[in-house]
Chain A
Amino acid sequence: MADAVVRDMQGAGAGSQLTMRKFVRRKSTIAVFMTLPLISLIVCLVVYPAFYSIYLATLNKSMKHFVGLGNVAFLFRRNTFWLVVEQTVLFAVTAVVFKALIGFIVAHFVHNLPAKGQRKWRGMLLVPWVIPPAMSTLAWLWLFDPSYSAFNWIFAHLGIPQVAWLGNPYWARFAVILVNVWVGSPFFLIMYLAALKSVPEQLHEAAAIDGANWWQKIWYVNLPMMRNVIQITALFSAIVTFANFDIVKTLTNGGPVDQTHVFATWAFTLAIWGNDIPLGASVSLFMAPILAGAAILILRNVSQRGNEA
């Protein structure tokens, strides 16, 4: 900054061409030029589509007349919409809770191991997160398949009645959540393991001297130390799970009688297959306030953490 000021003072008496060159050479100008690709990318791929979808949501089905909030009013009168809202909330909340629980538990088990053997366990446990979800969901689809089903084969040998995994609405909901938990928990595992490693060993020793058992060590030492990581990871995962598309689309495609649709898949079905793009746009806009709220929470948390550190 200082050298820019000095150069400005040197060039003060010169012609306007020179001051123009100084302006270009100033650091803030260079910074703006360097962020321009990112800004233009965001404007083209995020801001413009967002406002375009708001515009689309106010049109009628043939996209010729302006209907205002007519699409929203129509959605509120439909039972399927409330079913989708219920299923999305159920799906996101249950999946995130179980992902966090499994990640937390498995992170503690991995942390218990001697440091030498941890790498290969971590590698094996990360596999679900590395495979593209659309592909691993296909494997689950075969596992759930009614006629060649691998699960039902085991059940038949154990004498348990067969389950129509993707045909029964309740089991289909269970299956969708199970696959989501399977895909997402390694992420929690890695984040929590990193947080666990940053808990100072002295705290555990002090707790042990004070007579704390393993449960008290987890509850009074580990959990408070990991609080920030747990919050941020859960919020990130909540955003991704809420906007989930590929798992539901591949596994059940909305499932038996629309019972497993979430916002994204239902919007896709309405807009692309139902040929009613404005209605699909207004469905997908319902995700925006919830996701924005979660994003604000995350950003606030990050800045708070910055102040503490």
Chain B
Amino acid sequence: MTTAIAEATGGASSRVRCGSISRGRRKTLYWSYFFLILFVIFFLMPPLYMFVTSLKSSAEISAASNPWWVYHPTLSNYVALLTDPIYLIFFRNSAVVSMCVVSLTMVISVLAAFSLAR
């Protein structure tokens, strides 16, 4: 009985699929993709620009070439940072601060939330 109903509804939906509702739905899907691509471009533009610029040498940044593309990619900026002892200290500072903040917050808020919820 249930399988018959399921088949009937399945058949109905597959018949509807070639109707006008499905065409309208596919149109909204295409428009959704179109606008989502626009919004993703807007949302991802600064991080991508940051990444592209990070691959440039200082000479290429100040050159009057296309700022959106890198013609001579170089990893020298990353190498310079990772071999700089000061930057490694900053890196360690970030790790220490975030670990301390997370553990302290967890302890204090878990205790308080447990006793307030009871």
Q: Which residues of A contact B (CB under 8 A)?
A: 27, 30-32, 34-35, 37-38, 41, 102, 105-106, 109-110, 112-114, 121, 124-125, 127-128, 131, 136, 138-140, 142-143, 148-150, 153-154, 182, 186, 214
Contacts and interface: CB of A to CB of B under 8 A. Distances in A.
B32 A113 contact: yes
A136 B45 CA distance: 10
A31 B36 contact: no
A182 B41 CA distance: 12
Contacts of A136: 46-47, 50
B67 interface: yes
A112 B118 contact: no
A127 B47 contact: yes
Nearest to A126: B43
24 contacts: A30-B115, A31-B118, A32-B115, A35-B116, A37-B108, A37-B111, A38-B108, A41-B108, A102-B39, A109-B36, A109-B39, A112-B29, A125-B39, A125-B43, A127-B43, A128-B43, A136-B46, A136-B47, A136-B50, A142-B53, A143-B46, A143-B49, A150-B67, A214-B28
What DSSP secondary structure best describes chain B's contact surface? helix
Interface string B69-82: 00000000000000
Given A125-B43, A148-B67, A153-B68, A37 B32 contact: no
B40 A121 contact: yes
A143 B115 CA distance: 49
A109 B39 CA distance: 10
A41 B67 CA distance: 48
Interface of B: 28-29, 32-33, 35-36, 39-40, 42-47, 49-50, 53, 61-62, 66-68, 107-109, 111-112, 114-116, 118
A186 B43 CA distance: 9
Contacts of B115: 30-32, 34-35
A112 B33 CA distance: 9
Contacts, number: 89
A113 B35 CA distance: 12
A181 B70 CA distance: 28
Given A106-B39, A113-B32, 6 more contacts: A32-B115, A113-B29, A121-B40, A148-B61, A148-B67, A153-B68
A142 B39 CA distance: 20
Contacts of A125: 36, 39-40, 43
B42 A182 contact: yes
A105 B31 CA distance: 12
A34 B44 CA distance: 44
A124 B116 contact: no
A124 B42 CA distance: 11
A41 B105 CA distance: 11
Contacts of B49: 139, 142-143, 150
B36 A110 contact: yes
A121 B36 CA distance: 8
Contacts of B39: 102, 106, 109, 125
Contacts of B50: 136, 138-139, 142
